[in-house]
Structure 1
Amino acid sequence: MTAALPPVADRETWAAALADLRRREKAATRELDAVAAQRRRLPMVEMDDYVLTGPDGPIRLVDVFDGRSQLIVYNHMWTDGARFQCPGCTGFTTQFSRLDYLADYDARFVIITHG
């Protein structure tokens, strides 16, 4: 079985197709930028005083920020009673070994899970 390949064309035809594709890509990028800007302008909502359980016991969500203005949260999937937890989450989060640079962005990174 052979893989389906696009047609062979001369360089001029290829360049015209590439230019058209780039116009579409730029339009898509502009639209995604507009969507992201609209997301940033969404109104805020005041949250209830949410309490998590940390390694030292209960901790209020506001205290998880540890004085920083931004909190980056990764929700690690968890299955009660499983010997091994989500391999995708585990593989993803084990690569975070140097997060001290986040202080320059007034941010803190935390991993949360139901486990």
Structure 2
Amino acid sequence: MSHSEKGHQVVSRSQWLAARRQLWLHEKALTHQRDELAAARLALPWVKVEQPYRFQGPDGELSLADLFAGRSQLLLYHFMFVEGWSEGCPGCSFLADHFDGANLHLAHHDVSLVAVSRAPYAEFQAFRQRMGWRFPWYSSQGSGFNEDFGVSVGTEGERHYNYEPYTDNEAELPGLSAFYRGQDGAVYHTYSTYARGLDILVNTYNFLDIAPLGRNEAGTMDWVRHHDRYEGQAGKPHCCHE
């Protein structure tokens, strides 16, 4: 006889195996759909980047091509940190906690992974040191880069984010953009994603999705804090959107 524990039936091993096989069929179908989606993403047309964007790094000014660090592919995370802030968005910081481990491998597969923020370069160095991050992180201050790639949406007029009208309060939002650099030095924009499209970057969610209680959150990232604020501190509310 079965009974309920945390809202779940408790059954025999054979009953569990029958249910697990049914779920396995769904998982296999999703795997094939994910493969198809990845192929469609790779098949997107590209746009040549014509604007001479400039960035600030530890050694001064750089071009977008410089951010590739000699590689042909660039993944650029639009990190929410604007002028006057003392710390970055908790949601962006949660994502960024996954970058250094990935970069150990991406650097050997012709891919650079970097972050770019609107704030002046000097303003996020103390926070970067506090977080212990090593991934490259640049400032786009003084250029239209954030607006052109859909993460600086302002506060007035017609506003769009994640390919649809945006009516919430934030003027700066998260995203990821991908670029390719050809042998002639030309740079092409190949892909951008925002909001829940960024879940793919968060391996912690992949672990939670197979934990017994799943993500166990009332709203997207509502439980997330800067990683040095989990012990006895409330931290700041999340600032990323569904």
On whether the aligned pair clears a TM of 0.5, the verdict is yes
Q: CA deviation at 1:25?
A: 0.8
Cα displacement (A) at 1:75? 1.8
Pairing 1:16–2:18 present: yes
- Distance, in Å, in 2 between the alignment partners of 1:98 and 1:37 is 21
2:46 alignment partner, SS class: coil
The more displaced of 73-82 and 89-98 is 89-98
Partner of 1:25: 27
Separation of aligned partners in 2, 1:101 and 1:17: 37
Q: What residue number does 1:106 align with?
A: 110
Q: Judge conservation of contact 1:49–1:61 (CA < 8 Å) in 2.
A: no
The one-character-per-residue Cα deviations of 1:32-64 (angstroms, maximum 9, x if unpaired) are: 11111111111122222341221312x321232
> Percent identity, aligned pairs only?
32
Matched, 1:79 2:82: yes
AA aligned opposite 2:50: D
Letter of the structure 2 residue corresponding to residue 69 of structure 1: S
Question: After alignment, is 3-12 or 74-83 more displaced?
Answer: 3-12
Which of residues 40, 55, 62 is equivalent to 2:65?
A: 62
Q: Which has the higher helix share?
A: 1
CA distance 1:40–1:7, change in 2 (3 Å): same
Q: Tell me the C-alpha RMSD between the 2 structures.
A: 2.8
Task: Name the SS for the 2:65 alignment partner.
Answer: helix
Distance, in Å, in 2 between the alignment partners of 1:60 and 1:45 is 17
Matched-pair contact (CA < 8 Å) for 2:80–2:117: yes
2:79, 2:115 within 8 Å by CA — same for their partners in 1?
yes
CA 44–80 in structure 1, closer or farther in 2 if over 3 Å, else same: same
Residue 105 of structure 1 aligns to which amino acid in structure 2?
H
Shift in CA distance, 112/39, structure 1 to aligned 2, threshold 3 Å? same
Structure 2 runs not aligned, ≥5 long = 120-242
* One-letter identity of the residue aligned with 1:17: A
CA distance in 2, matches of 1:17, 1:90: 38
- Structure 1 residue ranges without an equivalent (≥5): none
How many residues align? The count is 113
Q: 1:7 to 1:64 in 2, by over 3 A?
A: closer
Superposed displacement of residue 16, structure 1: 1.2
The amino acid of 2:7's aligned partner reads: L
After TM superposition, the score normalised by the length of structure 2 is 0.40
